[in-house]
Amino acid sequence: MMPHILCPGCGHGIVLNTLVRVLAKRFTSMDQVALVAGIGCSSRIVGYIDANTLHTTHGRALSFATGLKLSRPELTVIVITGDGDGLGIGGNHLIHAARRNLDLTCILFNNETYGMTGGQLAPTTVLRAFTTTTPYGNKEKSFDAAELVKAAGATFVGRGQAYRPDLLEELIDRAIAHRGFSFLDVMTDCTEYFGRKNALGGGSDLLFSQARGEEAIAQGLGEWPELRDPDGFPIRETVPMGVLHEVNRPTLEEMMGLAGYDAREE
């Protein structure tokens, strides 16, 4: 790893450090790992990890990862994406990757905004929140990314937060170990375009806000705290953390192997 360009207080750096720790424990050689990313603040982190990496086009990381996994099934493929990249521009690819149950891990850095391009409205931006494209507050209901991919067919769904790296490390490790499509919704506030613009403060303020949220414990792993705007209106509901869904069913690779067997039988 090397010094990164992320803003002071940004949770992305914590998630990057946590991911590196998991990879170092799980793999004897980084040649066994392929990291695929699209465009955005989160997607830049693949450049700081000494592994096989693909920095692809906006919203298309899962498309590249699909081809990579099917052609090189021996690799552990991990997709790094953001809420704008993965749910907005790449949302169609996300639901179909979950439906197909590809054997890969998708880690979505959810900062509730388009951070790199100027703080625009994202599919995860909460109600009433200020963005550069909603200067009078967001009027649209946001996606629950975890529920979306669960409904689409993902076989492992979890949610963590940057400010609990101990629990996040456990979640990332379990997601990589799971055979099938694993999805992690990682909550990580944008200090510059979300925190400050919504009167929630900078990195330290957001850290203490999330620490207070740890007082509410759900399934032993905590909750993402409710946020209120300066007028006292709730702009984010409390959401559960931890492993939210885990089942087993055949992966796409296994099903395609059966298709090849059926063709040979004919």
Tell me whether residue 7 is in a domain: no
Nearest to 160 by CA among 61, 15, 40: 15
Q: At what angle do helices 145-152 and 91-100 cross, to 10 degrees?
A: 50
- Domain housing 172: 12-265
Indicate the number of domains in the chain: 1
Q: Is 151 helix (H, G, I), strand (E, B) or coil?
A: helix
Tell me whether residue 39 is in a domain: yes
pTM tops 0.75, yes or no: yes
Tell me whether residue 122 is in a domain: yes
List phi, psi (to 5°) of 201: 95, -175
Tell me whether residue 31 is in a domain: yes
Tell me whether residue 198 is in a domain: yes
Structure tokens, 119 = 């703080």
For residue range 133-192, list pLDDT tens digits in order.
Answer: 999 888 898 889 999 999 999 999 999 988 889 999 999 999 999 999 999 999 888 888
The CATH number that applies at residue 189 is 3.40.50.970
Residues making up the chain, counted from first to last: 266
